[in-house]
Structure 1
Amino acid sequence: MATMTAPPSDKAEIVDIKYPYKEIVERCSPAGRYIDAQTDVDSPWVPFGPNAAIKHLAFDVRRNLYSNILWVKSPGVIGTHFHRGTITMVCLEGSVRYLEYDWVASPGGLILEVPGESHTLVTEHPEGCKLFGWMEGPIDFYDGDANLVETVDVFWMINHYETHCRDHQMKINPKLYL
């Protein structure tokens, strides 16, 4: 069996693909976009408790899907939470683990979380951690006595971002909305 490789391309230019629904896509699609995650130009860091912040990157209300970077600034905990959807994260900086597992994520590591599981996120790294993630569906947060404290979903995240922007006289970025 032959090993599959990427098809060769001899042109460093736009190639006009003959797609029969191209006009419909152009009319109906929110289109591709670039969000600068390295600066605050497209999205600011929004506080998420005393030791954490979130940089919102995308909101999709049709699928209850949201993307962000979670920054835990120093050793700390993001309390126990229960997933009702799938979570895909990549550790960008520092390290992080869940009390419920025996692994530690380091930069470049992929974290997959499935519906129906609860986790307690901990970073013991001196500089904390940054996690890039796509979250789908609600996440229920609990206190130490297993009492529901807050349910976070795409609408909570939009409110989190927009409230911060309004409170700090910042423009709400339409590129974040899919």
Structure 2
Amino acid sequence: MNVMTAPPSSKKEIVDVGFAHRELVARLSPGGRYIDAQTDVDSPWVPFGENAAIKHLAFDVRQGIFSNILWVKGPGVVGTHLHRGTIVMVCLEGSVRYLEYDWVASPGGLILEVPGESHTLVTEHPEGVKLFGWMQGPIEFYDENGNYADTSDVWWFINHYETYCRENDIPINPKLYL
């Protein structure tokens, strides 16, 4: 049985790797980038209700993908919502659970959500929760009676970010747009 190991390398420099269509990639790819999530240098915390904020990290309008960190600042609830796309989240700080499931996510824990699931996010942690999310597709929100309230998609999140930046004289960061 072969056990895969990391390829050996002792060369601490850029290695020129030739590949097909390299010129097209150089011309058309938005390129890799780094977004600082620890400070407000690349993206500010934008209020999301009274007890929460969102740090926007990426917007991809071609695929309907958006990435952010959701910070619920203390014990609280993010209302019932239905996902129309795939959601991948990592709990960074605190803890969180969904009323509909029997698990509690803690730091380092991976949360996977598939299209068609609805749930109610709750944190009972005294310091709340921070969740990194990579999300695709719209999220439909419902009130306490199950009535449709609003839809948040990549365009909603872009508007959330850009409106806050304009209102607070913060430059809009082009690195967030893929």
TM-score (norm 1): 0.99
Name the counterpart of 2:61: 61
Name the counterpart of 1:24: 24
**Aligned AA (1:40):** D
In 1: Cα distance, 2:175 partner to 2:14 partner? 23
Name the counterpart of 1:168: 168
In 1: Cα distance, 2:22 partner to 2:176 partner? 23
Runs of 4+ in 1 over 2 A off after TM superposition: none
| Paired residues, number | 178
Name the counterpart of 2:120: 120
Instruction: State the shift of 1:22 in Å.
Output: 1.3
Name the counterpart of 1:98: 98
Aligned residue for 2:111, secondary structure, equals strand
In 2: Cα distance, 1:97 partner to 1:3 partner? 37
Aligned residue for 1:162, secondary structure, equals helix
In 1: Cα distance, 2:167 partner to 2:97 partner? 33
Instruction: State the shift of 1:20 in Å.
Output: 2.4
TM-score (norm 2): 0.99
Name the counterpart of 2:85: 85
Unaligned runs of 5+ in 1: none
1:54-80 C-alpha deviation (Å, 9 max, x unpaired): 000000000000000000000000000
Name the counterpart of 2:14: 14
In 2: Cα distance, 1:27 partner to 1:18 partner? 16
Name the counterpart of 2:158: 158
In 1: Cα distance, 2:76 partner to 2:163 partner? 25
Name the counterpart of 1:38: 38
Percent of matched pairs sharing the same residue: 77
Aligned residue for 1:11, secondary structure, equals coil
